[in-house]
Structure 1
Amino acid sequence: MKEQKIHKTQRPKNAQAMVEFMLVIPILLLVLVGLIEFGRLFYAWLIVENSTRFGIRYASAGTYNVDYCASDTPCSGDNREAEITDARLPSIEDETRRLIVGLAYDESLAQTANQYLNVTVCAGPEPNGNTADAVGLYIVRPQMGSLTKYAECTSGTESAGNPGEMVIVAVDYNFTFIVLPIFGFNP
């Protein structure tokens, strides 16, 4: 008997590369988008950290913007100390906001809204009258919505402080993700 050789003809695998590419491209896109979103989030965090740092420097130096003085002669005369005290708080807030560059924000939004921004300046002894920490020898890390000294500093009770008092400058910012809501993720 004769042996017959069976030749299998191999079909070209042109579509195999296309299928593999289609299987891998969603994963690559998710990694790329994740890197971009994380980069934006890290940038926002750095901007907020630096702005608060500059606000604290401004507050600790005791400086103020003369445009916030009430009298015709900037912060001089009979009410000099009171005018300086009143001018320091908006001056510190302006210095803090000045460094928030590249972030879309609106201070008139609700606290839960995207792009919400709030600058809080708080100083002095504990609001409950506790004299154990009259000059701020310890710090309670500010947490939005917490029951700390920072949470008790609301508009109306904010203070730029006096010499020897601890000053807290805090910025609350609600970061807005761009791509995650498109995929149905709401962090």
Structure 2
Amino acid sequence: MSDKESTNTKKIVIFASGSGTNAENIIKYFQKSKNIEVVAVLSNRRSAGVLKRAHDLNVKALLFDKEALYHTNDVLNILKDIDPDLIVLAGFLWLFPSNIIEEFPDKIINIHPALLPKYGGKGMYGNKVHETIIAEKETESGITIHFVNEKYDEGNTIFQATTSIENHDTAESLAGKIHELEYKHFPEVIQQILEDNN
């Protein structure tokens, strides 16, 4: 029996649609923890790099489709079996269904690569966000970690961090600054939430 199994381990499930750099960072961060563990990664895209990253880090990786998420209870039942303490959306692009939100109230969080409420909502993800912010000549951007509700990027804010935008910044260079904020703060905020819920 490992140290993690012998304690009251807090369980995290990550949902991701893309390459999974945030998911990998979170998994590695908590692999050093004795009482918090990422137990599964779920993705809606067969080609998503996050599935391989999870597999390489010995975390269960599961693929699902729209039918399983929206029209049956397949994904909900997987989550009920796991009984996670926190569900983390790390670059997950579909709207989260209300049946899961109702089953896990205040246990689902998302990270958004901008300072909500600006530059959020349907279609605002990844480089689209950074390109829009640069085009609008904003002087700062950042990240928002928030609870998930039935609307894109409208749940209550938990944490924000900012970075300045210089005249020479491009969408790509801004993305790099945002990634740094994500990698630094997202695991720390997750840990804080789980410790506060003890």
| TM-score bracket, shorter-length normalisation | under 0.3
User: As a proportion of its length, which structure holds more strand?
Assistant: 2
TM-score (norm 1): 0.26
Between Structure 1 and Structure 2, whose CA radius of gyration is higher? 1
TM-score (norm 2): 0.25
